[in-house]
């Protein structure tokens, strides 16, 4: 049986040059390890904000390493060096605009500048690629959603939809820790007990 493979890519000129430590890969690794209860393997990359390099890395993770899910962090704003969404769209077979819309909706609960984000989601082949924010706190919020003071979800995080999306793409089954993120599937798509 094929095991779940996830690619994570931190995109930062300065972190990739060693000017300061990368925070994206550790944040994504920690979150995924806590949230996903299905066994999975990780492919990690730390690269500069260069569109051709981002395109090459995404293609490598999907086409050569057969990652079912690829998460990027960084490079999604309006600055001239922020080219992650451009690279992601350039290698996409299909666009999944709902992911970007939901990420902005979540972030708007915290900062008004969330509307400046160009985060997107796409499908390449049978792989889902999602552009996440650059800050560890924002990554967690985007994946988990917005909670009220009692800890109840008031705006669903994007990861609640990832398992079913991967299922529709014929990827291996993905289960999550419901205390962190409760993956939604319609009744017709539930795994038999």
Count of beta carbons in the 10 Å neighbourhood of residue 23: 18
**What pLDDT does residue 149 have?**
93
- Cα–Cα distance measured from residue 67 to residue 59, given in angstroms and rounded to the nearest whole number: 10
- For 107-135, the pLDDT digits (tens) are 999 999 999 999 999 999 999 999 999 99
- Cα–Cα distance measured from residue 179 to residue 9, given in angstroms and rounded to the nearest whole number: 26
pLDDT of 188 higher than 70:
yes
**What pLDDT does residue 1 have?**
60
**What pLDDT does residue 141 have?**
95
Dihedral, 1, 173, 144, 46 alpha carbons, nearest 10: 30
Question: Is residue 151 left, alpha or beta, with left meaning phi > 0 and alpha meaning psi from -120 to 50?
Answer: left
Structure tokens at 68: 């079912």
- For 137-153, the pLDDT digits (tens) are 999 999 999 999 998 99
pLDDT of 102 higher than 90:
yes
Do 142 and 107 form a contact (C-beta atoms < 8 A)? yes
- For 17-65, the pLDDT digits (tens) are 888 999 999 999 999 999 999 999 999 999 999 999 999 999 999 999 9
Fold of 4-189: Molybdenum Cofactor Biosythetic Enzyme; Chain A (3.40.980)
- Cα–Cα distance measured from residue 179 to residue 20, given in angstroms and rounded to the nearest whole number: 33
pTM of the predicted model as reported, rounded to 2 decimal places:
0.96
For the chain, domain boundaries: 4-189
């Amino acid at each position: 049986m094929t095991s779940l493979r996830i690619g994570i890519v931190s995109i930062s000129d300065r972190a990739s040059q060693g000017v300061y430590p990368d925070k994206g890969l550790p944040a994504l690794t920690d979150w995924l390890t806590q949230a996903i209860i299905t066994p999975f393997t990780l492919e990690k990359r730390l690269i500069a904000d260069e569109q051709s390099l981002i395109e090459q890395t995404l293609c490598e993770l999907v086409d050569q390493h057969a990652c079912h899910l690829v998460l990027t962090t960084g490079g999604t704003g309006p600055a001239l060096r922020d080219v992650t969404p451009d690279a992601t769209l350039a290698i996409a077979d299909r666009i999944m605009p709902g992911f970007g819309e939901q990420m902005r909706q979540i972030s708007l609960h915290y900062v008004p500048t969330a509307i400046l984000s160009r985060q997107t989601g796409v499908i390449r082949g049978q792989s889902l690629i999602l552009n996440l924010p650059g800050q560890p706190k924002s990554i967690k919020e985007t994946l988990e959603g917005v909670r009220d003071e009692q800890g109840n979800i008031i705006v669903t995080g994007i990861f609640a939809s990832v398992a079913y999306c991967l299922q529709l793409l014929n990827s291996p089954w993905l289960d999550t820790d419901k205390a962190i993120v409760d993956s939604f599937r319609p009744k017709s798509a539930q795994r038999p007990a």
